[in-house]
Each structure stands twice: as structure tokens, then as C-alpha cells.
Structure 1
Amino acid sequence: MSTEGAGVLFLKPGQIVVSSHPLLVTTLLGSCVAVTMFCQRLKTGGICHAQLPTCREREAEGVTHPGRFMDSALREMLARLLERGALAGELEVKVFGGSDMFQGRGRGRAVGRQNAEMALAVLARESIKVLNQDLFGERGRKIIFHTHTGAVFLKRLNRSGVC
């Protein structure tokens, strides 16, 4: 797989990228979740890096920063891909992150678990099949997504305060 001529981008929390141009998108995940979507026919890929499962002001007309929230980030990324001519049934989808980086702090379900569960629930609601996933655990992840091939490379990090 050639990466010659591909641009490089570091995806920050709350960002969404959809590109038909070759990009190598790198991001670091802890409790955050990244979802990649790739359309082979169009050679177009998208990735989002969401920090929280859902916007508390759900009834609000428009979320100011849709990439921050898993539910709105997925809807936004999917809309961008469909606008470019992708069909939901042909998307190759992969989901990463959702670690419990601060195990034992606080009560209830950790935000990482909530982020991952929200991602899977939204994708299921949209009838989008997840091809691969690497979720939960106690370690952060570094991923590199190739927007022009759909390939994702994953490295598990030492326990630290990533994202």
C-alpha cells in the first residue's frame, strides 16, 4: 500500500475529517472514541474523534460542536459521506477507544464505556455494520487512518492520561 503523496493530519478531540484525497490521519485515544468510515467505490474516508457520548442539550436545534459528541459526530460524518455519493450499506466502519483511563474514580459507567456504547448504538440504529473494533480496556491507543484505503493501524499505549 503506497502512502506516497498523502498529506498528514493530527485529528484533535472534537474534529471530523472526510476526504477523497489521500490523507494519513493520526489521533490519540483514551476514553474518547474514534470511528472510521470508508467507501471503497469512491476511495473516500472519514474519521471522527468524539469526547462525550451525547449532547445534554439534545433538543437544541443545532449542536455548536457536533464532533465533540459521539451521536452527533457520527450523524455529521455519515451525512458528509452520503452527500459525496456513498451508500450506507457499502461503508467499511471501524471503532476504536473507549478506555477506562481512570479506573476506580467516581461512580457509574466510565465515560469511555459510554462513548463506545453510544457509537455502537448509533451505528446499529443506522443499520451500519461494524467491520472491526478495538474498544474498552485500560490503555490508550494511537491510530493512523488512511482515508484513501480505509486501512487503520493501531498501537496500544502504556497507561497514561491520554484524552
Structure 2
Amino acid sequence: MQPKQYVEILLQPGEYYFSNDPNTRIRTLLGSCVSVTLWHPKFKTGGMCHFLLPKRKESLKTINHQLADARYAEEAFWLLREDIRHMGLPLSQFQAKIFGGGRMFSGEQGTIADVGYKNIQMAKDLLHRMGLNSVSEHVGGTGHRNVFFDLWSGDVWVRQLPLQQKK
């Protein structure tokens, strides 16, 4: 049940947010970017990242909070894991969901320009490395997605907007 009052956090590309306040909704708008949500059902705590690219061209040898950049999947996942670690909760108890990775231009599917596909694959790979499986996903296709993640319930609402056809 939705609380009477809640805080709504708008994630911009390259941001992430993690909270232990169950009266929180996190939302974002995705194109070829991908968002991953992590949610703990007992403690109603969790977070979402909105990354643009799978990884940096030159990976960091060591990541810390000053260097980590949530524009890259590997680093966004690291930031979320660190917040979970600081809360003292087992990562294995979190539910993961994946959203986005849409093709933003016709004809890019299966090409080197299909950044959305690469982002989806990286999200799945990183979840696998963390020992998590996605319990739900809404990925691929074309166009934009509005994504809303409610920490009070773990529900994620998605509205996909198709690509506008050129006339």
C-alpha cells in the first residue's frame, strides 16, 4: 500500500540512489541506458542505478567512492554493493530487476552501435557475478521507458514509449 507521503527521487543518467527509508520512490527515464533495482523485502530497503555504458575504456585498477562513476555499469554496481555492505545486509537476500536497453535509432539492432544490448548483457553478467538472478526484467525493444521503483513494496512500474517514426 502506498504511503500517504513519500519522497520521490529522480535519477539522472549516470546516477544511483540507495535508501533504507521505505517511504521512497525512485524514478528515471531510460533510452539505451539500463537501470537495475536491488530490494530487500524484509527491510524494505534498496536502490537503483542508471548507467549509460557497460564499462570505461580503461578499467580502474581499484575503485573507491571518489573514483567510482555510476555512468558505467561496473562502477554503479560497486556503489550499490558498498551501500548494502555498509547496511550490514547480505547481498544474497536482495531481489534484482533490470530495465531499459532500448534501441534509440532504427537499424541499430545487432550492430556495434547497439549500446542498449551491450548494457543489458553487462547488467546480467554483473548480477550473475554477484550471485543474483533477475526476478523481473523489461529490456530491449525500441524507445524510452519511464521507470518507477517503490521501496515500500518492491514494485517497479514501467511505461514504454515507442520511437517516433520520421515522416
What TM-score do the two structures reach when normalised by structure 2? 0.88
**Per-residue deviation, 1:9:** 1.5
Please, which of 78, 84, 88 is the counterpart of residue 87 of structure 2? 84
Q: Distance in 2 between matches of 1:103 and 1:70?
A: 24
**Unmatched runs of 5 consecutive residues or more in structure 2:** none
User: Structure 1 vs Structure 2: percent identity of aligned residues?
Assistant: 29
- Aligned residue for 1:67, secondary structure, equals coil
1:155 aligns with 2:159: yes
1:97 aligned residue: 100
Task: Say which of 71, 76, 80 aligns to 1:73.
Answer: 76
Cα displacement string for residues 55-88 of structure 1 (whole angstroms, at most 9, x for unaligned residues): 1120343473521001111121122112212212
Deviations 1:85-141 (A, max 9, x none): 221221111000001111325942511111110000011111111100111111211
Q: Is the 8 A contact 1:20 1:148 kept in 2?
A: no
Q: 1:99 to 1:79 in 2, by over 3 A?
A: same
Instruction: State the distance in 2 between where 1:74 and 1:61 align.
Output: 14
Paired with 1:85 and 1:61, the residues of 2 have a C-alpha distance of 22
- Looking at structure 1, the residues matched to 25 and 51 of structure 2 have their Cα atoms a distance apart, in angstroms, of 18
How many residues align? The count is 160
What corresponds to 2:34 in structure 1?
Answer: 33
- TM-score (norm. length: structure 1): 0.90
The alignment's C-alpha RMSD in Å is 1.8
Give the residue type in structure 2 aligned to 1:3.
Answer: P
Q: 1:13 is matched with which residue? A: 13
Which residue of the partner structure matches residue 50 of structure 2?
49
Counterpart of 2:90 in structure 1: which amino acid? L
Distance in 1 (CA, whole Å) between partners of 2:82 and 2:106 is: 35
Q: Which residue of 1 aligns with 2:130?
A: 126
* Aligned residues of 1:42 and 1:86 also touching (Cα < 8 A): no
**Which of these residues, 105, 113, 116, is aligned with residue 117 of structure 2?**
113
Give yes or no for contact 1:46–1:81 (8 Å, CA) kept in 2.
no
Instruction: For 1:44 and 1:80, locate their aligned partners in 2 and report how far apart those are by CA, in whole Å.
Output: 11
Q: Which runs of 5+ in 1 are unaligned?
A: none
Q: List, as ranges, runs of 4+ consecutive aligned residues in structure 1 with deviation greater than 6 Å.
A: none
| Distance (whole Å) between structure 1 residues aligned to residue 86 and residue 152 of structure 2 | 17
Instruction: Give the conservation status (yes or no) of the 8 Å contact 1:98–1:135.
Output: yes
Aligned CA distance change for structure 1 residues 103 and 71 (closer, same or farther; 3 Å)? farther
Distance 1:128 1:136 in 2: 20
